[in-house]
Amino acid sequence: MTSDGKAIRPWSGPKGPAGWGLGDGQAIPWEYAPAPESRDIAKIRPQYGLFIGGREVPSSDGATFTSVDPSTEQPLAQLARATTADADRAVRAARRAQSRTWGRLHPRERAKYLFRIARILQERSREFAVLESIDSGKPIKESRDVDVPLAAAHFWYYAGWADKLEYAFPGRNARPLGVVAQIIPWNFPLLMLAWKIAPALAAGNTVVLKPASTTPLTALLFAEVCRQARLPGGVVNIVTGPGEIGMHLVTHPDVDKVAFTGSTSVGKLIQKGIAGTDKALTLELGGKAANIVFEDAALDQAVEGVINGIYFNQGEVCCAGSRLLVQESIAGPFIDKLKARLLTIRVGDPLDKNTDVGAINSRAQLEKITELVAAGTAEGAEIYQPPCDLPDRGFFFRPTLFTNVALSHRIAREEIFGPVLAVLTFRTPDEAIEKANNTEYGLSAGVWTEKGSRILAMVSRLKAGVVWANTFNKFDPTSPFGGYKESGFGREGGMHGLHAYVSLEDR
Amino acid sequence: MADRDPAEGRIEVWKTYKLYIGGAFPRTESGRTYVVSAADGTPLANACRASRKDVRDAVRAARSASGGWAGRTAMNRGQILYRVAELMEGRRAQFVEDVAQAEGLSAGKAGAAVDRAIDRWVWYAGWADKIAQVLGSSNPVAGPYFNFTIPEPTGVVGIVAPETSSLLGLVSRLAPALVGGSVAVVATSEARPLPAITLAEVLATSDVPGGVVNILTGLKAELAPAMAAHDDIDAIDAWGVPEALRREVELAAAENVKRVARRPKGVADARFDWLDDRAAERPEWIAAFLEMKTVWHPIGV
């Protein structure tokens, strides 16, 4: 009975985990009321142009494409579909701004522009968060608490470097490379924009950025921020359009540097595209991270870390901990804990403040995930999905966990980029290292143990650019991020992130 | 304090200049003041002539604020320093008037000093989350150990402010101490203390927590030795210590092994060009109030 005397409505949902004081497998005796964030703060215009030379312009042939709300499949806006002539115009605007204004500006003043941008992003943070969740499908609590604050923090951090480059590169003159073409993915649209634009501008470069076709809206709102900050025209140019426009920018003769975040297959095309030229390149590509849990780990913390590692942002994260390597002695109980925890994950409306897993970004991505999960079952792995309801419309996928996975299975080798965890086991640290490194990727890894010396021993043998110890998916503008092997090269964030945007000359 | 003709109809309301301790504006406990004049000799105000006991109160406030300030994230400290710049920009006209009067500068030159003081906050704000990256290290020791060195704030810093440059000089010495996570007890320029009190009004309405900066006006011959001798001050910035007091101050500082940040050799306070960025924007001024901590941790399965 509740306090007002009404009978508790029988819970038709999943059973609760053991150890909650409810009795083993007893029903969770509560429901969540809807807690939607208001959409009103994000004003979506019916039509958006390109942002070139500080002005919004239509594409030269007037063509457009549609961005869709992945949680409702409803169209959100019409976007200008850039032509190669538009891309050329953007590069020209960037070149002009680099040689006439931005490149000549005193570094102290460059810094102040970037601080302004950081401040405006902070001031308009909720607007950005709501728009990001609408356009990308990610839960509002993630866009609000992770994507947008980190994006502002990146501008903040690199603003301070703009007039301190001599301390980042002692004894050398750090000069801008010139015009930078930047191509970013749809999983963290604004954050990837910040990772790209902030260090490039701090070092005195100008940029032409192409956002992903399914998530262009926050980039175009960022264009408005540039205007609000009175950033000189042409310093930041944003062109929306298909992948061919990105490739056109990559191969454009007046582009000095290319920065790309996305799939390894496209990364290879880009690396080939600049072969034989003097263009600089950084690539942040795919991953298949191992999250390694030893028997002495704090298991409840490790459960949270593993869950966060793979289901954060629907698993659409290049550094997602998509392979769990759990020590055999604790595999049974640990998997039980994971399954119990999965029951409490809330899948649904990205704008609901209680949602843990939102919408998959696009139909194409949903189909890819579906196909790989089917392959997992076909190859003999054992699937587990919590029995939660999914919305009737929109691109949703149940959080999924596979056991009995072999290292040769596709779900253990290919980047799924979805909420799908493959569980493998190991007996010794050597075996864990062997399995963790047995992939062409090398972006990130996780280690869970209470023994510090073991963490560091694992760290020294893992072939990954970021290793999280007793935590996962932590990001900070001061902390370099990037991969080994086919996960790419170059680092974003920290002092090392500046390196990608300067040419070092003798004093 | 320039008097208007009473016949014009309105008598100005003058400001009482007080100390800034623990986020509040008390008068000196000693009840003493001294007359502060403009560069042209016009009397401007009766400033507080702070005492040894005011130093004691200021140190107590600083020590209480020290843990909280040092415990902020570097980024947060950076944002708070930047916020000081934002608020100074908003009160630029007042600072220009203050500095022009105190230092006998034209409005143009005073404006340049104020602009540079604002930008200097921004420059040092940017160091908050970078100084550890530049001064810290991971050390490849010859053994199975992970060994790294990180800077930590020294604690309570006594700043004897430059005498000539009333605002820009003070900001250039105060910001580096704060950005590294230390807190400050400041003895302002003795002859030109008023812009520092206006700065205190900015600090009081910014996000800088009370006690992180404490500002005393008065005679350096009284304040500098008292600060140097105080056991709960960890470091002293001796830039503005008059030459005649230097040895006495440094002797007292040795009693609890204070770190002493001296004016560079051969540099005269009165002739130092605070507008020169290369001379006055120095990460080593941050390092002067940092301690280096080295950590050893074994590596092994």
At residue A4, the pLDDT reads 47
Taking the domains of chain B in order of start, what are their residue ranges? 18-37+44-298
Beta bridge partners of A66: A78
Scanning the structure block, which residue is given the tokens 């204004």? A101
Residue A88 inside a domain? The answer is yes
Report the amino acid identity of residue B154. Answer: T
Among B138, B146, B301, most A C-beta atoms within 10 A, so best to mutate, is B301
Percent of chain B clearing pLDDT 90 (strictly above): 96
A77: phi then psi, degrees, rounded to nearest 5: -165, 160
At residue B9, the pLDDT reads 84
B18-37+44-298 CATH, one of 3.40.605.10, 3.40.30.10, 1.10.10.10, 3.40.50.300: 3.40.605.10
Q: Residues B73, B74, B76, B81: is their CA dihedral positive or negative? A: positive
Q: A41 CB contacts (<8 Å, ≥6 apart)?
A: A126, A127, A130
Tokens matching residue A449: 């143990």
Q: Which residues of A104-123 are buried (b: 16+ CB within 10 A; e: fewer)?
A: ebebbebbbbbbbbbbbbbe
End-to-end CA gap in chain A: 79
Residue pair A406/A412 in contact (Cβ under 8 Å)? The answer is: yes
Helix, strand and coil percent figures for chain B, each rounded to 5: 45, 20, 35
Angle between helices B220-229 and B246-254 (to 10 degrees): 20
Q: Does A494 touch chain B (CB under 8 A)?
A: yes
Q: Does A168 touch chain B (CB under 8 A)?
A: yes
Across the interface, do A163 and B126 touch by the CB < 8 Å criterion?
Answer: yes
Residue A32 inside a domain? The answer is no
On whether both A308 and A276 belong to a single domain, the answer is no
Across the interface, do A160 and B130 touch by the CB < 8 Å criterion?
Answer: yes
DSSP string covering A190-215:
HHHHHHHHHHHHHTT-EEEEE--TT-
Which chain A residues are Cβ-neighbours of B79 within 8 angstroms?
156
Taking only the tens of pLDDT, chain A with its 507 residues reads 344 444 444 444 455 454 454 444 455 556 789 999 999 999 999 999 999 999 999 999 999 999 999 999 999 999 999 999 999 999 999 999 999 999 999 999 999 999 999 999 999 999 999 999 999 999 999 999 999 999 999 999 999 999 999 999 999 999 999 999 999 999 999 999 999 999 999 999 999 999 999 999 999 999 999 999 999 999 999 999 999 999 999 999 999 999 999 999 999 999 999 999 999 999 999 999 999 999 999 999 999 999 999 999 999 999 999 999 999 999 999 999 999 999 999 999 999 999 999 999 999 999 999 999 999 999 999 999 999 889 999 999 999 999 999 999 999 999 999 999 999 999 999 999 999 999 999 999 999 999 999 999 999 999 999 999 999 999 999 999 999 999 999 999 999 999 999 999 998
Lowest pLDDT segment from A41-55, A275-289, B6-20, B117-131 = B6-20
Residue A12 inside a domain? The answer is no
Residue A247 inside a domain? The answer is yes
Beta bridge partners of B36: B45
Q: Residues A58, A64, A70, A71: is their CA dihedral positive or negative? A: positive
Q: Does A153 touch chain B (CB under 8 A)?
A: yes
Per-residue pLDDT, averaged over B137-143, amounts to 97
Q: Who among B75, B134, B297 is closest to A456 (CB)?
A: B297
Strand pairing class (A74-80; A172-176): unpaired
Q: Does B160 touch chain A (CB under 8 A)?
A: no
At residue A2, the pLDDT reads 41
Q: Does B129 touch chain A (CB under 8 A)?
A: yes
Residue A200 inside a domain? The answer is yes
- Give the count of domains, chain A: 2
Tokens matching residue A144: 């609000």
Res B54 pLDDT > 70: yes
Residue pair A35/A24 in contact (Cβ under 8 Å)? The answer is: no
Distances A40 to A122, A127, A134, A147, A351 between C-alpha atoms, Å: 18, 9, 11, 20, 12
**Is A388 one of the catalytic residues?**
no
Confidence band of B3 (pLDDT split at 50, 70, 90): low
Angle between helices B92-103 and B194-205 (to 10 degrees): 160
At residue A467, the pLDDT reads 98
Q: Residues A137, A138, A143, A145: is their CA dihedral positive or negative? A: positive
Across chain B, what does the average pLDDT equal?
Answer: 96
Among A156, A165, A166, most B C-beta atoms within 10 A, so best to mutate, is A156
Q: Does A58 touch chain B (CB under 8 A)?
A: no
Per-residue pLDDT, averaged over B195-210, amounts to 98
Q: A505 CB contacts (<8 Å, ≥6 apart)?
A: A172, A173, A174, A175
CA of A225 vs chain B CAs: smallest distance (Å): 19
Of A36, A48, A41, A35, give the one whose Cα is nearest residue A75.
A48
Considering the candidates A226, A318, A319, A388, report the single residue annotated as catalytic: A318
B6/A34: higher pLDDT: A34
Res B51 pLDDT > 60: yes
Cα A111 → chain centroid? 26
Strand order, beta sheet including B145-153:
B137-138, B145-153, B290-298
Q: Is B131 exposed, middle or buried (0-12, 13-18, 19+ CB in 10 A)?
A: buried
Cα A3 → chain centroid? 44
Q: How far apart are CA A367 and CA A361, in angstroms?
A: 11
Among A106, A122, A163, most B C-beta atoms within 10 A, so best to mutate, is A163
At residue A32, the pLDDT reads 85
Residue A369 inside a domain? The answer is yes
Confidence band of B6 (pLDDT split at 50, 70, 90): low
B3: phi then psi, degrees, rounded to nearest 5: -80, 140
Of A212, A185, A182, give the one whose Cα is nearest residue A199.
A182
Of A133, A119, A108, A117, give the one whose Cα is nearest residue A37.
A133
Q: A24 CB contacts (<8 Å, ≥6 apart)?
A: A18
Residue pair B220/B73 in contact (Cβ under 8 Å)? The answer is: no
Residue pair B69/B152 in contact (Cβ under 8 Å)? The answer is: no
On whether both A437 and A450 belong to a single domain, the answer is yes
At residue A389, the pLDDT reads 87
CA of A146 vs chain B CAs: smallest distance (Å): 16
3-state DSSP assignment of residue A488: strand
Among A109, A117, A167, most B C-beta atoms within 10 A, so best to mutate, is A167
Q: Does B254 touch chain A (CB under 8 A)?
A: no
Tokens matching residue B149: 């060195």
Q: Who among B119, B129, B301 is closest to A157 (CB)?
A: B129
End-to-end CA gap in chain B: 74
Q: Does B123 touch chain A (CB under 8 A)?
A: yes
Which chain A residues are Cβ-neighbours of B123 within 8 angstroms?
108, 111, 163-164
On whether both A332 and A429 belong to a single domain, the answer is yes
Q: How far apart are CA A336 and CA A326, in angstroms?
A: 12
Report the amino acid identity of residue A270. Answer: I
B23: phi then psi, degrees, rounded to nearest 5: 85, 0
At residue A31, the pLDDT reads 78
At residue A271, the pLDDT reads 98
Q: Which residues of A30-51 are buried (b: 16+ CB within 10 A; e: fewer)?
A: eeeeeeebeeeebebeeebbbb
Q: How far apart are CA B77 and CA B160, in angstroms?
A: 23
Angle A13-A358-A46 (CA atoms, 0-180°, nearest 5)?
A: 135
Q: What number is the ipTM of this complex?
A: 0.94
Counting Cα atoms < 13 Å in the Cβ hemisphere of B92 gives: 16
| CATH classification at residue A417 | 3.40.309.10
On whether both A173 and A238 belong to a single domain, the answer is yes
3-state DSSP assignment of residue B271: helix
Residue pair A187/A362 in contact (Cβ under 8 Å)? The answer is: no
On whether both A263 and A299 belong to a single domain, the answer is no
Nearest-Cα residue of chain B relative to residue A428: B301
On whether both A302 and A330 belong to a single domain, the answer is yes
Give contacts of A 447-476 with B, CB under 8 A.
452-454, 456-457, 460
On whether both A459 and A351 belong to a single domain, the answer is yes
- DSSP letter for B144, please: S
On whether both A249 and A297 belong to a single domain, the answer is no
On whether both A87 and A175 belong to a single domain, the answer is yes
Beta bridge partners of A293: A326, A448
On whether both A312 and A359 belong to a single domain, the answer is yes
Which chain A residues are Cβ-neighbours of B87 within 8 angstroms?
none
Alpha-carbon Rg for chain B in angstroms: 20
On whether both A246 and A333 belong to a single domain, the answer is no
Q: B23 CB contacts (<8 Å, ≥6 apart)?
A: B61, B204, B209, B210, B211
On whether both A266 and A376 belong to a single domain, the answer is no
Tokens matching residue B245: 């007091």
At residue A17, the pLDDT reads 52
Residue pair B83/B72 in contact (Cβ under 8 Å)? The answer is: no
Scanning the structure block, which residue is given the tokens 């698993």? A315
Res B2 pLDDT > 80: no
Residue A3 inside a domain? The answer is no
Which segments of B20-155 are extended strands (E)? 33-37, 43-48, 137-138, 145-153
Cα A178 → chain centroid? 26
**Is A284 one of the catalytic residues?**
yes
Which chain B residues are Cβ-neighbours of A429 within 8 angstroms?
301
Q: Kindly compute the dihedral angle of the four CA atoms of residues A150, A188, A252, A158, in this order, to the nearest 10 degrees.
A: 0
Per-residue pLDDT, averaged over B46-56, amounts to 98
Q: Does B128 touch chain A (CB under 8 A)?
A: yes
Total residues found in chain B within this entry: 301
**Hey, how many other C-beta atoms are within 10 angstroms of the C-beta on A134?**
25
At residue B32, the pLDDT reads 98
Q: Who among A160, A429, A454 is closest to B126 (CB)?
A: A160
Residue A215 inside a domain? The answer is yes
Could you tell me the residue range of the domain that residue A147 belongs to?
47-285+486-506
